[in-house]
Amino acid sequence: MLNTAQMYAGLRQYITRYIEAQLPDEEFNLIEKAFQPKLVRKKQYLLQEGEICRFTGFVVKGAMRQYFVDAKGNEHILRFAIENWWVGDRESFSHQTPSKYNIDALEESELLLINLTDLNELRHKAPSFVLMMQKIDERSFIAAQKRIHASISYTAEERYLDLLNSNPEFLKRFSQNMIASYLGIKPETLSRVRKHHATNG
């Protein structure tokens, strides 16, 4: 059973950390009403290709992945989301168009979900939430830019080391095949890189 009080407390702590100031009670009351708790079982979908992304979610507990399947049936993971990360298809959510992606749970996950209408209302009524979103967008843009650069110019080993430095938790929680998909390299290449790093690191 979900402990919703703890879930909302976790979101409040997250926002407070981002805005680097106290979150006024009146603003948090609006935020709390806008989000709804959701339990996503392991292997359960939050979104499937062709559906419209109706919600964006804050991960209180658990792990999710966003991926697509190519014409050959191969999975390509775009991103992972663990505790204190956001999950959803931004394009589909913002434009209410069918998604190209799947999002499912790699662990049993507890989420707080918000729909587009409520999100837009918060943009007008909760300045602290707007500030948090601006900071998230800035970090997300920088992270996406770095990832594109890495995919174009980094060797397999450099991609692995970059992930090891930036998100070491991923390597503990996700399978080698998933990590390889996320890095855009073959599983056997990742295995070789990890062995080499373990031997020489």
Give domain 4-128's CATH superfamily.
Answer: Jelly Rolls (2.60.120.10)
Mean pLDDT within 148-154: 92
- Which pLDDT band holds residue 197 (cuts at 50, 70, 90)? confident
| pTM (predicted TM-score) | 0.92
Helix (H) or strand (E) holding 196: helix 187-200
Give the residue with greater pLDDT, 154 vs 1.
154
> Can you give 119-181 as a three-state secondary structure string?
HHHHHHHCHHHHHHHHHHHHHHHHHHHHHHHHHHHCCHHHHHHHHHHHCHHHHHHCCHHHHHH
Structure tokens at 111: 């989420």
SS3 string, 18-32, reads HHCCCCCHHHHHHHH
Q: Which long-range contacts (CB under 8 A, 24 or more apart) does 171-180 make?
A: 173/63, 173/82, 173/106, 173/107, 174/63, 174/65, 174/80, 174/106, 178/65, 178/77, 178/106
Q: What backbone phi and psi angles, to 5 degrees, belong to 60?
A: -80, -40
- 14-23 pLDDT, tens digit per residue, is 999 999 999 9
Asked whether the beta carbons of 40 and 58 are under 8 A apart, the reply is: no
What is the residue extent of each domain of the chain? 4-128
CA–CA dist 96, 102 (Å, integer): 15
